[in-house]
Amino acid sequence: MTKTIAVYGSLKPGQYNLHRFQQAYGKGSIFPIEKEGDIIHYPLKGYNLYSLGAYPGIKPGDGEVDAVLLQVSSEVFGGIDVMEIGAGYIRKEIEDPDYGQITYWEFGGQVHESELVESGIW
């Protein structure tokens, strides 16, 4: 069984955590969802993006965050979920008419406005 997740930081294509999970679980167990050969960028509306140093976090706000949709195996989902929750993130889910249930993680800790990434892109 596979799950759809929206990622906006270190799990985006080209970032270190995506590479790490692909090495650990195999490339076929985690991959970006594409449409006509292009990776799908999914807007997480109603959120602001903050730099937490080496990775970002999102908090409810008036912005929009650029996320990428990934298809992952249940095993990979479990690994990502443990990593995110262990780092202080809260699992959230939305229902999308085109992509079904999408899981993403919102940062549960404190952020400083000076760390706001105004573009919404990590």
- Give the per-residue pLDDT at 27: 83
Q: What is the mean pLDDT of residues 63-71?
A: 98
Confidence of residue 1 (pLDDT cuts 50, 70, 90): confident
- Give the per-residue pLDDT at 83: 97
Asked if 21 and 80 touch (Cβ cutoff 8 Å), the reply is: yes
- Give the per-residue pLDDT at 88: 97
- Give the per-residue pLDDT at 28: 87
Q: Given this structure, which CATH class describes domain 2-110?
A: alpha beta
Q: Comparing C-alpha atoms, which of 30, 22, 5, 24 is closest to residue 91?
A: 5
What are 5-62's pLDDT values in tens digits? 999 999 999 999 999 999 999 988 999 999 999 999 999 999 999 999 999 999 999 9
Count of other CB atoms within 10 angstroms of residue 79: 18
Three-state SS for 46? Answer: strand
- Give the per-residue pLDDT at 61: 97
What are 74-104's pLDDT values in tens digits? 999 999 999 999 999 999 999 999 999 999 9
Query: Which residues, 6+ apart, have CB-to-CB distance to 87 below 8 Å?
Result: none
- Domain segments of the chain as ranges: 2-110
H helix intervals, 5-116: 16-25, 74-86
Strand segments, DSSP code E, in 8-55 are 30-32, 34-35, 38-39, 41-51
